[in-house]
Amino acid sequence: MKPEPHILKGIISGIVPLPIKRFYWKNMRPKVFSGAFKNFSEIKDEHPWESEEWIELSRQKLQAIDNLSTEGKPLGGYLSLTAKLINKLSEKETVKVLDFAGGTGFVYFRIFPYLMAQSNVSWHVVDSAALIDIGRKHMTKSHRLSFSEVLPYAGDRFDIVFINTALQYMEDHRGLLKKLLSYHSKYFIFTRLLAGNIETHVTSEIIFKRKTPCRFLKIQDIISFFGNEGFDVLLSDHNREESLSWQYSKDIPSAMRIPYSMDIVFKRR
Ligand SMILES: C[S@@+](CC[C@H](N)C(=O)[O-])C[C@H]1O[C@@H](n2cnc3c(N)ncnc32)[C@H](O)[C@@H]1O
């Protein structure tokens, strides 16, 4: 009987010495980001978010949350940052969050057990039909979650706009941010934002063998953008949960690489 590929992978991983594994990770693993471009139009978009693999992974990530035991286990990283801020704001009043490009609502489901005032937090996800359908099916009566494929109408108000690792896929990211500003939010939370002390550029990212354009941002440009709109940086840090260093192909100059993404929160003055 032929072993399952993931079992075979586990066996191989168990017998290969660590230095060889390290060499593989550093030098031979397929790179995620390649090329430095100016515009999205220079890269073919193969729509990875519509792929069966991505949709299945998204479904499995939600199922995995159900099997997680959260008792006594603190949240870490960007999830903790997000939950802490929302807990502070929802202590005495209701808080409405707009999660742009939020997929299945993964972040909401993940932080839900850690929300101190669950009924004070309502969360709206904007993403594609296939992903929000998975999220809808995962909801229970206690969740205060809604979904749409398009942005809510401009007169709506949200206390927080939240974007987790998605701004980089927006061709007109400044135009999108202008639209999101129309919700009069007090806070913008960006987690795993691809930004740093680099010049803004576009690169080609591979997700499940499909290419998509992806923009790395000069962080100072984003800070100035929000500064001009009346926001200050409330907190900002490197997100050390995932190293990006090994993910660049040789054709990306080192001055254009960031070792980590960023978590950054803007607060209206
Ligand atoms: C890396 S995933 C992040 C998903 C989600 N924020 C999370 O934390 O699980 C990028 C997401 O951007 C979404 N996306 C890409 N272009 C979009 C657009 N124009 N409008 C809304 N969502 C979009 C994709 O469908 C995908 O769910």
> What is the DSSP code string of 155-215?
T---SEEEEES-GGG-TTHHHHHHHHHTT--SEEEEEEE-EESS--EEEEEEETTEEEEEE
Please give the domain boundaries of the chain with CATH numbers for all domains. 39-67+82-268 (3.40.50.150)
How close is the Cα of 128 to the center of ligand 1, in Å? 8
> Is 164 touching ligand 1 by the criterion CB < 6 Å?
yes
Query: Distance between terminal CA atoms of the chain?
Result: 65
The rounded distance, in Å, linking the Cα atoms of 99 and 10 is: 36
Instruction: Determine whether the shortest distance from the Cβ of 79 to ligand 1 is under 6 A.
Output: no
- Residues (pLDDT < 50) of the chain are none
pLDDT recorded at residue 1: 55
Dihedral of CA atoms 51, 52, 55, 56 in degrees, nearest 10, equals -150
| Cβ pair 124, 158 in contact under 8 A | yes
pLDDT of residue 113: 96
Give the pair of three-digit tokens for residue 209: 């063998």
Nearest to 90 by CA among 67, 106, 114: 114
CA dist 253 and 67 (Å) reads: 42
SS3 150: coil
Q: 169-225, pLDDT tens digit by residue?
A: 999 999 999 999 999 999 999 999 999 999 999 999 999 999 999 999 999 999 999
Q: Is the CB of 101 under 6 A from ligand 1?
A: yes
